[in-house]
Amino acid sequence: MKVEVSLTPALYPYRTVTEHHVTVAIDLLRATTAVCAAFQAGCREVVPLDSLEALEPYRAQGYAVAAERGGKKLPGSDYGNSPTEYMSKDMCGVRLAYSTTNGTVSILRAADADLTLVGAFANIDALCERLKEEGRDVVLLCSGWRNDFCLEDTLVAGAIIDRLSPFASHLSPLGDSAHMALDLWYLTQNDPYTYCSKASHVHRLQGFGTQAQADIEFAFEMNTCPVVPILKKGVLTL
């Protein structure tokens, strides 16, 4: 089993694992944490979209619209990408059309894998169980921020590799980005939340008030949403 890390969506096309693999799209703050929260709250499906224009046909078909740009919920949308907002609502049966700055872009980029999953700390154990069952090579795609590297997604990647390592006794030698993610996780695993207080997107979100702060704290909690969203034909379901 090979496990590879793409540190940004821009690097994903240069990965070495390209066949018969699972790609996990990771955007801890907050897009993939929010997807897990929406499903945990009962959401039926999430359609990830990379442009705001693409949301409108779904609105016309009765989808609820969830849209964020630059960390802020867009005016006129029903939801944003706040995981704590989803967790506080009854989302039973809701179909979401969802567009965010980075996270939905990387979910869509990951669609070329044989199996595309969504990952965060919120679903990490359920996700790793699924990866073990699959037994295929894995690419961990970190969303970062506008194609730049970010600390928090890299930590999630490192934590996933850490959980897969004992299982994959035949884990192939890791590439440098996977080593770096794993080492960073080992260094910070006792308190990843405090370590990431220096992260640029944490600073960005902290300027947006108390709900964003609650979202940050929620995102660093493990296994709050034991769901494994799967992308099939452009739609995320469980």
Q: How far apart are CA 70 and CA 50, in angstroms?
A: 14
Options 2, 21, 30, 109; binder of ligand MLT; rule CB under 6 A: 30
In the block, residue with structure tokens 């299982």: 167
Check binding of 8 to ligand MLT (CB under 6 A): no
198 phi and psi, to 5 degrees? Answer: -90, -5
Question: Between residues 69 and 232, which has the closer beta carbon with respect to ligand MLT?
Answer: 69
The SS3 assignment for 221 reads coil
Q: How far apart are CA 173 and CA 104, in angstroms?
A: 30
Options 102, 116, 123, 224; binder of ligand MLT; rule CB under 6 A: 102
**Residues in region 55-74 near ligand MLT by CB under 6 A:** 68, 71
Options 6, 23, 77, 100; binder of ligand MLT; rule CB under 6 A: 100
**Which listed range, 9-17, 25-33, 36-44, 222-230, lies at the site for ligand MLT (CB under 6 A)?**
25-33
- Number of C-beta neighbours around residue 46 at 10 A: 26
CB of 204 to ligand MLT, least distance (A): 8
Question: Between residues 30 and 109, which has the closer beta carbon with respect to ligand MLT?
Answer: 30
**Residues in region 157-216 near ligand MLT by CB under 6 A:** 205
Nearest to 58 by CA among 108, 99, 90: 99
Check binding of 99 to ligand MLT (CB under 6 A): no
Element (H, E) at 155: helix 151-164
In the block, residue with structure tokens 């869509």: 108
Residues that bind ligand MLT (CB under 6 A): 27, 29-31, 68, 71, 81, 100-103, 205
